[in-house]
Structure 1
């Protein structure tokens, strides 16, 4: 912090939704950026529960980050969160957004937080009303939730909330607030009592705010800030004018392969990603899928191959137990954006469509889904829809005859 500058005068990021992912991701990047540039502070607010505020307050916002690699754990202390509040406390939230030192708001409020009338959008609109009243100037809002075009989603939700408060507030927001999308990626499993015990043994500190995460991390942010920002680009954050190719790459290469392992793994009685990726038949199927999915991505081939190589390492890490049952949930909404475009591209280009088609077939069998539900996934597929149905049908017949899957198959679980 510059000489003579007080803590409250430091450039500030207000964050709404201070859960484990924020602390493994945006707060971690901000802490690292302080080592190579100006120190920014985060004033954090909880989303739906005050529990995180109580945990962080115990150590003044500091917490231990356990980076769990295949060979062992690394421990670091993250200090970028300098104040933390219960998100239900209106006064500190509005005071923070009204302060001229606050230049950025980041959000991790889940998809539900952006629904019409949602608490998060209402809070943000109220905070922006306080900023307008204070004359504090422009502000940048960055959504860090796992939604395509999340900045646009946030803008629409906040405009809707602002119109319910005062239509002139929506006009002011349009002129003074920039909403940016970002693509975020870092697996952050739930912290257990055993993790907290391990931190105490290693550091001598009983840290109830401990966060566990994987070594890999990625953050790509749409450029166009309304004001200053941390030196995130010096610690690995990428800025781009076009986020869509990066969202596409993540959906098709990472999330698509996750879905493949989830549904095929569950059919074989496997419980987590590392175990599924360690199965030779499933590993081969993932590699086959990546060959097809890579061709559907618009980023340069070198970047795509680099992403696949990183994903291989992530999937093989046995110490990050990413449960297949968790990944398999809500497949009816996930597969149309993860798998259907890859299948469509394969059929249009004349590539082998078996691997992407098999994901939908495995979803149908694992969840007991009907032909009508498969058709619903393909809604809007256009002229390749019939070819998709045929490819999926072939994979359904193959899976039904697979003796390994048949021997370990459990009762269908709707997903």
Structure 2
């Protein structure tokens, strides 16, 4: 069903050749934007996307009423530029397992993409599938019984089992999440699930499924009612699901596509043999900077990245954090940090600190602790600026309901009250980086910085930060 108010397609939609899991704003600002531009650049080769929600069905319902089409509002300091995205040709509730399996059975579907966030892969701190996660355990039982799975790794196994049964051939799985070597992450948890359900299926996946790693970058804040009003004014259409994003975008890709892919390279994506330097630069500069600004900014009563970046103390801490990362980055950082200063200062992109601050227990190991580990390996001091981010996160934990803001830190939150700075630092590092080199030195830095932090005011239990 779709509205008759300007959303009708004037041409037939592109055939579904990509299945996507995680119908959030970032996927629609990044993956679908690149796919749209590739389709426009590579006519007649067209790749349509069928997307499934990760949790709530609401996003699918709203987009279905618009035939999958929506407005991407590119927001620069000079103004807003709307573009209609047509590459999304089918939208589904994530619970629609019949449709999920049916797409996997189609030989022409050659790519599966994911944006499920770091926590969605259900891993332990050492990287393997968390078999003690109750949802993982339930998924294993469901899959053995032939029932639909609910976690991202379980859904992949469910779909790939359907593809094997249909004899539909090889396929590529592409992660678009902020994890180092994310293709290997997805491969490991997928094979972990498959091997506990059907060893022969795990063997088929290992032989026929390519797991592609990518580095993605485009700031995409949550859409507000004011944004919807701007879209209405600029386009004359009522859009229930517009997406706001910044002008900057970057996508670096490593891996094989045995069943073909869109010409994302014509849309600006870069295909490389070694993704790691680009991943590190992005994680240790952009993402680490976001985490610092989120926890330091929230403690000062600030709400957006631009507000925190404008705060002199936050800015000084950020520059020091970048300096610590630059010493162990394999790529030049001058152009990247100059671009980030421009991006962070764009006050028209209201990137909410509370949004960034969620799931810090999953984000900080790859954004902050990885830098400390690399500095230790290089014989450098582990870094006080990074330790300051950990200290700010520990303080932040006292202001949240972890069930909604950081489930991975729930046990830690329960153990922190009444503890001194040294104990709080040690408990946090035991969770974030149990095998960190020079952990005692790093813990001392965190404890010292905790001891001098200004007190924060806890929110009511259950309230969002």
Q: TM-score range by the shorter chain?
A: 0.7 to 0.9
Residue 289 of structure 2, aligned match among 249, 253, 257: 257
Alignment partners' CA distance in 1, 2:342 and 2:63 = 32
Q: Which residue of 1 aligns with 2:441?
A: 387
**1:182 Cα deviation from its structure 2 partner:** 1.8
- Distance across 1 between alignment mates of 2:22 and 2:382: 43
Matched, 1:324 2:370: no
- Could you tell me which residue of structure 2 aligns to residue 373 of structure 1? 424
After superposition, residues 14-163 of structure 1 pair within 5 angstroms as 14-37=19-42, 38-115=45-122, 116=136, 117=139, 118-163=150-195
Deviations 1:34-58 (A, max 9, x none): 1211221112222222222221222
Q: Secondary structure at the match of 2:327?
A: helix
**Are 2:201 and 1:169 aligned?**
yes
| Contact map agreement 1:70 1:317 (CA 8 A) in 2 | yes
Q: Which residue does 2:401 correspond to in 1?
A: none
User: Which whole-Å CA distance do the structure 2 matches of 1:215 and 1:238 have between them?
Assistant: 17
Per mean C-alpha deviation after superposition, the further-off stretch among 204-213 and 156-165 is 156-165
Structure 2: segments with no counterpart, 5+ residues: 1-10, 123-135, 140-149, 399-415
Name the counterpart of 1:410: 456
* Structure 1, unpaired ranges of 5+: 1-5, 401-405
Question: Where does residue 403 of structure 1 map in the other structure?
Answer: none
Distance 1:87 1:169 in 2: 23
- TM-score of the superposition, structure 2-length normalised? 0.77
Q: Distance in 2 between matches of 1:393 and 1:45?
A: 44
Counterpart position of 2:367: 338
Q: Is the 8 A contact 1:24 1:213 kept in 2?
A: yes
- CA distance change for structure 1 residues 365 and 18 in 2, over 3 Å: closer, same or farther? closer
Q: 1:114 to 1:367 in 2, by over 3 A?
A: closer
Q: Tell me the alpha carbon deviations over residues 346-399 of structure 1, each in whole angstroms, 9 at most, x when there is no partner.
A: 5665569443333334334454664223124263233x33433444455445x4
Paired residues of 2:119 and 2:362 also in contact (CA < 8 A): no
The Cα shift of 1:345 comes to 5.2
Q: CA deviation at 1:195?
A: 1.6
- CA distance in 2: counterparts of 1:8 and 1:320, whole angstroms: 31
SS of alignment partner, residue 334 of structure 2? helix
SS of residue matched to 1:381:
coil
Alpha-carbon separation, structure 1, partners of 2:393 and 2:158: 42
Q: Distance in 2 between matches of 1:109 and 1:330?
A: 13
> Which residue of structure 1 lines up, in the alignment, with residue 6 of structure 2?
none
The equivalent of 1:359 in structure 2 is 389
Q: Is the 8 A contact 1:344 1:388 kept in 2?
A: no
Q: Distance in 2 between matches of 1:135 and 1:345?
A: 45
State the alpha-carbon separation in 1 of the partners of residues 68 and 55 from structure 2: 18
Aligned residues, how many? 398
Indicate the RMSD between aligned Cα atoms, in angstroms: 2.8
The TM-score, its normalising length taken from structure 1, stands at: 0.86
- How far, CA to CA, are the matches of 2:294 and 2:176 in structure 1? 24
Which whole-Å deviations, capped at 9, do the CAs of 1:92-147 have from their partners, x for residues lacking one? Answer: 22222111211111112334543333433333223222222322211111112233
Looking at structure 2, the residues matched to 365 and 88 of structure 1 have their Cα atoms a distance apart, in angstroms, of 37
The Cα offsets for residues 319-359 of structure 1, whole Å up to 9 and x where unpaired, read as 22223333334444433332234345556655694433333
Of the structure 1 ranges 243-252 and 369-378, higher mean CA displacement relative to structure 2 is found in 369-378
Residues 385, 123 of structure 1: alpha-carbon distance in 2 compared, 3 angstrom cutoff: closer
Distance 2:48 2:245 in 1: 22
CA pair 352-145 structure 1, distance change in 2 beyond 3 A: closer
- Tell me how far apart the structure 2 counterparts of residues 122 and 341 of structure 1 sit (CA, whole Å): 28
> Cα deviation per residue 1:188-220 (whole Å; 9 max; x = unaligned)?
222222222221111110011211122222222
Q: Which residue of 1 aligns with 2:128?
A: none
